[in-house]
Chain A
Amino acid sequence: MRSHFLVCPFNENLLSKLHGKSVVVRLNGIEKISAAVDTVTKHQAHLHCLLLETQTPVAAIPFQENWRDIPLALYASSLGRFPDFVRQAPTLRQLNIRIYLPLDHEENYTSFRILSSLGIESAVEFKGKNIKWELITDLMTYALLGLIIHAPIAPFNYVASHYDRQSRNDYGAVYFEDPYTYLHLDDKGRVALSRADLTAGKFVAQDIDDVDDINGSEEFRERVEGWRNFFLKADGCAYCQGWRVCLGKYSDTMKSNPGCMEFFAEFMDSLEKYKAIKKREKIIWQP
């Protein structure tokens, strides 16, 4: 069985117990980056990435070249002032970073294209009730089928690289939300299956030592089999052609903002085009 990546707060006492484990360390300030890396190294854990959550715009973060070897997942609010961002871009392009931006800022719909065109990987954070699905469709088309070279945009490229048209395709892992891959720990080392469960205090194990048995637990089974509940409802997401990719992630807003249905249908079409293009190996005249 594959071992989990443990998403945990930056807490030295906790990290000291995670020897040999792969960890995602949550930080809420860039000033803690170096200390977090040092602590993980000191306790011989493996750093999967640092998960940095900040309300600071990307352009206002003083990125440093010596972060080059630190895997970073940066959740920021927006790109910020464009001139400032342009000054940051050369450094940013050297980093091992994915920038997450929420959709509750309208300018961010454009920011993904800017980041991608500059070769910086990004991820759409589907936040807010008024997601503009038409704009997301354009962005997805750009990410998958745009001809000019550009960096991947998650979850589109993530799904494209994992897509199986005859299976359920979950992209929760992009957001560390996949109990097969990620578990969430609090300061006391209690284990939750998602960030929301962690916030709600809904733990599946009281101690990290139980983590090795987590896949056998009833809670784990209920969570990973939770998709079946959609088929017990008389209407809703199970009746949608896009379900095999969205898996009901937008069921709460589906009735008030039904654009997700068209988006995911279009997404699946684009995924199949993308696969077909990737399959066609270009043969040029020069051997």
Chain B
Amino acid sequence: MATIIVKATEKCNSNCYYCDVVYKKDTGKSMPLEILETLFIRINEFLKAEIGERVEILWHGGEPLLLGPQYYMSALKLQDKHCLDTKNRITHNIQTNLTCFNSEFMQPFKELGIHSIGTSYDPEPHMRGPGKIIDSDTYNRRFMQALELLDRNDIAWGLIYVVTKKSLAKPLDIFFFLSNLTMGKGFNMNPVLIYDDKRKNIAITPEEFVEFLGAIFPYWWKYRQRYPDVNPFKGLVENVINRDLSLSCGDSGACTYHHINVAPDGQTSQCGRSADWGLLQYGNIRDKSLGEILHDQQRDPLNERIEVLPKTECSDCRFWDICHGGCPLDAYSQHGSFMHKSEWCEAKRGFMERYFEPITGVKFESRKQENCKK
């Protein structure tokens, strides 16, 4: 499966405190339909050449709904025009703040096969919202209206909660809030990633993230049937207890030859962050096929990393199978090189050793350990 992150627009209607996009200088571009058309032509070429492959399009931004429902109808038409024989191998997902979602998006979403929407939320005032004051009241009201519309139309959704310094004082309160809001749907708790000095006041350390999760985990474990879809807990249970090693992009070590970020002007990169930082630039889809982009030699160091780390920094870590050194971009931000583990590895290790294993009574064994036993 190739994942194409389509940065359909860099514009955003929100000014979220922890978002990097709002600090970027050039954030006004949106993807013209001619670039979108080229993208579908490239996808069709790729799928015709790679029988059995699939493509996941992840509509991203900025705020992708700012482009309006017509834009997605146009995307549908372009897909129908250029991917007539391959469109059944294309899936669509979207990551949106939902604040400009309305019933007019239903038709294009339905026709594109978007049955589930990824979003994010923070109940803390003035963390998410438009304008200089970060008007969370307006944002939250629109967000709740959108959820109501999604629920009424049986469109599933799941949300990401970003753990900041402000979250640390009340982990269980936040957990209850999110589980009450999502009720039967899922949410994911991720640490805030801050790369500048302007917003250090909300940054957290890996250790703080461990303690945040650790304050929730005993309760979640006891009542996990009541709160089935809470991550990272559910994912770890599946990894460790059910031995299902499907992992997120940051932990899988498998993003190397599968991910493409497409900027509004057609420039490609590994992912959103590498694009923002000017790293791993693979050229423009107008000039290169997806196959060429997916096998660009600049990707090789990411693959090499997976060979190197188990012999170096990660040699003594038994959690390699569920971490793979973490996101290479995180490692780059700290060390200026991909050939290191991410500092967030320590969060996973700390959580596993201090909370997950003692509370569940299940000790994780890597494949290497299992093989040794055999």
Contact = CB atoms under 8 A, between A and B. Distances in A.
Interface stretch (A23-31, A93-101, A235-243): A235-243
Interface stretch (B86-94, B139-147, B205-213, B254-262): B139-147
Interface string A156-167: 000000000111
Given A166-B183, A167-B184, A234-B123, A240 B228 contact: no
Interface in B265-313: none
Nearest to B185: A166
Contact of B183 (A234, A241, A244): A244
Interface stretch (A126-134, A178-186, A225-233, A249-257): A225-233
Given A165-B226, A234-B123, A228 B148 contact: yes
Nearest to A227: B180
B183 A167 contact: yes
B177 interface: yes
Contacts of B371: none
Interface residues of A, number: 18
Contact of A228 (B147, B173, B226, B228): B147
Contact of B177 (A165, A231, A272): A231
A244 B226 CA distance: 11
Contacts of B173: 239
B176 interface: yes
Contact of B226 (A166, A232, A240, A243): A166
A241 B141 contact: no
B141 A232 contact: yes
Interface in B166-211: 170, 172-174, 176-177, 180-181, 183-184
B147 A243 contact: no
B225 A165 contact: yes
Nearest to B144: A228
A53 B239 CA distance: 58
A166 B184 contact: yes
A165 B179 CA distance: 11
Q: Is the interface of A mostly helix, strand, loop or mixed?
A: helix
B184 A240 contact: no
B125 interface: yes
A81 interface: no
Contacts of B228: 166
Contacts of A228: 144, 147-148
Interface in A189-230: 225, 228-229
A23 B270 CA distance: 65
A268 interface: yes
Contacts of A238: 123, 176-177, 180-181
A239 B140 CA distance: 16
A90 B144 CA distance: 53
Interface in A106-161: none
A9 to B, nearest CB: 34
Contacts of B183: 166-168, 244
Contacts of B140: 231-232
Of the candidates B170, B180, B181, B226, the one having the most CB atoms from chain A within 10 angstroms of its own CB is B180
B236 to A, nearest CB: 20
Contact of B123 (A167, A231, A243): A231
B135 to A, nearest CB: 13
B148 A243 contact: no
Nearest to A231: B181
Nearest to B147: A228
Contacts of A165: 225-226
Interface in B68-115: none
Contacts of B137: 232
A268 B176 contact: no
Interface string B123-142: 10100000000000100110
Given A228-B148, A231-B144, A240 B176 contact: yes
A36 to B, nearest CB: 39
Contacts of A232: 137, 140-141, 144
B226 A239 contact: no
Nearest to A165: B226
Nearest to A234: B125
Nearest to A269: B223
B184 A239 contact: no
B120 to A, nearest CB: 14
A165 B123 CA distance: 23
A239 B144 contact: no
Nearest to B148: A225
Given A232-B141, A234-B125, A238-B181, A243 B176 contact: yes
Top 4 A-B residue pairs of the complex, sorted by shortest distance between their CB atoms: A239-B173, A166-B184, A165-B226, A243-B180
Interface of A: 165-168, 225, 228-229, 231-232, 234, 238-241, 243-244, 268, 272
6 contacts: A165-B225, A228-B144, A231-B123, A234-B123, A239-B170, A241-B172
